[in-house]
Amino acid sequence: MNKPSILLIEDDVVSAEMYKDYLNNEPINLIHLKTVAQSMAYLQKSVAVAVILLDLGLPDSNGMKILEYVKQQMLDIKVIVITMENSVEVVVEAMHYGAFDFIEKPIQKERLIIALRNALCNMSQSVDCHNFKTTRKQYHEIIGASLSMQTVYYRIDKIAKSNASVLITGETGTGKELCALAIHKESYRKNEPFITINCATIPKDLMESEIFGYVQGAFTGAIKNRQGAAHSANHGTLFLDEIGDMDIMLQSKLLRFIQEGTFYKLGKDIQEKVDIRFICATHRDLPSEIKINKFREDLYHRLNVIPINLPPLRERKQDILLLAQYFLQKYTEREQKKLQSFTKSAKKFLLEHEWNGNIRELQNTIERIVLLSDEQSITSDILLSNIGGESYISTNSKPQPISYSNQQIRPLEEVEKEAILEAIKFCHGNVVLAARLLKVSKATIYRRLNKWDIPHKLEDFLQLEHPDFKK
């Protein structure tokens, strides 16, 4: 089979030679051009090109013209954009023209190779993908194509079939339970139970009985025997989520259980033995918890045989639009709604937002919009009104309190009008967000605007044409 042709468009000779060296062992035919004009002429010859590695900063014109040409001509070519610009606008524009991937300089060798392999294995032309280890956009129920997630997938592949304990760390909402489930599904225990206990949601007085179970009469309220998670997870996997919240008095019993595989039910002096794979997760910094005597160091080392850290969403921006589209499709299918896509401004908003709640915040936002909106596309205004004011508004730009000159007291309606109009102006015309900040319903604001004969279309607010906004 012929090697696929890769077109490298890069005017910097040093960078081009470095990329060639990175890709030296890949089964490809690499062609190097330096300008937009050369590249356009080459493509117009109908030369079969599989992938373009495109630097946007070219000497004779903006490299975006190549992307635009590929889209207009509907060429079956994957374009990987390379640029020095760390700009959301550039990313959105490149994606608008159909860029397959986006790499920021300086480029790491592994990042470039993975991006190229992924592009080749996703093209519709007949390419032998067995020569490539493709980038995965989904791994069981985990969504993500970024390099950091490829590292996570690779690590799971390597350790899943082991019986060693795994400790998954990461901020709240990064997908630790999905990671644990993926490990289980890749293991020899995949057909056995996967039992989850969230240590942060169960009162410490009940945690021991939840894990080990109890017999009738073991304590007040124990009216019948109950099997615990340890028994239920036998031959399978026990996932202890938020292990950092477990009471330190119980940690010694958990350590013994993990080391020996044996336990006692509450109220019973007969030892039971089970075969369990342990996976734990936490959003806490356990070494710091050890220093303040909130977590046992011996338990930490017993759990941390195989560490996996999940990056926050703000560090894997490449996955944001992929995740957003996945959740949009999931919830529109479930709710039978018309929403199909995100506008360009919405994509820009998604990429700029911090997502302090990580994937969970993004997921909840998309689900809420699908449930409440009857539009066909999600705009930035729809996102803003559903995402929560505090997470979007800069902490350095709070509305100023109303002040009175000469301590004069004005009519309440006048003060109310000023407060509402200032809030709307502050929120760039977003009535829903203004209502949230004022802690009133949006219907209240709309009634007041109608009463004062003030139009409440978004564009009117944004242009600030009404005389009340010109004060």
Tokens at 205, concatenated: 């007085």
Q: Which residue has the tokens 């993990």?
A: 258
Mean pLDDT of the chain: 83
Tell me the CATH architecture of domain 147-309.
3-Layer(aba) Sandwich (3.40)
Tell me the CATH architecture of domain 405-470.
Orthogonal Bundle (1.10)
Comparison of pLDDT for 80 and 389, the residue scoring more = 80
Enumerate the CATH 3.40.50.2300 domain ranges in the chain, comma separated: 5-131
Residue 54: per-residue pLDDT:
94
Indicate the helix (H) or strand (E) that contains 196. Answer: strand 194-198
Residue-wise pLDDT tens digits, 92-104: 677 767 788 878 7
Indicate the helix (H) or strand (E) that contains 333. Answer: helix 320-335
Phi, psi (degrees; rounded to nearest 5) at 380: -65, -35
Query: Of how many residues is the chain composed?
Result: 471
The confidence band for 76, taking pLDDT boundaries of 50, 70 and 90, is confident
Cα(319)–Cα(143) distance, integer angstroms: 8
Cα(469)–Cα(471) distance, integer angstroms: 6
Cα(194)–Cα(235) distance, integer angstroms: 10
* CA quadruple 346, 348, 351, 355: dihedral sign: negative
Enumerate the CATH 1.10.10 domain ranges in the chain, comma separated: 405-470
* Interval 375-387 mean pLDDT: 87
Cα(185)–Cα(113) distance, integer angstroms: 28
Beta-strand relationship, 271-273 and 262-264: antiparallel
The CATH number of the domain covering residues in 321-392:
1.10.8.60
Residue 12 vs residues 142, 375, 379: alpha-carbon distances, Å: 38, 46, 39
Tokens at 154, concatenated: 């690779």
Tokens at 256, concatenated: 């013994």
Residue 284: per-residue pLDDT:
93
Enumerate the CATH 1.10.8.60 domain ranges in the chain, comma separated: 321-392
Fold annotation for 5-131? Rossmann fold (3.40.50)
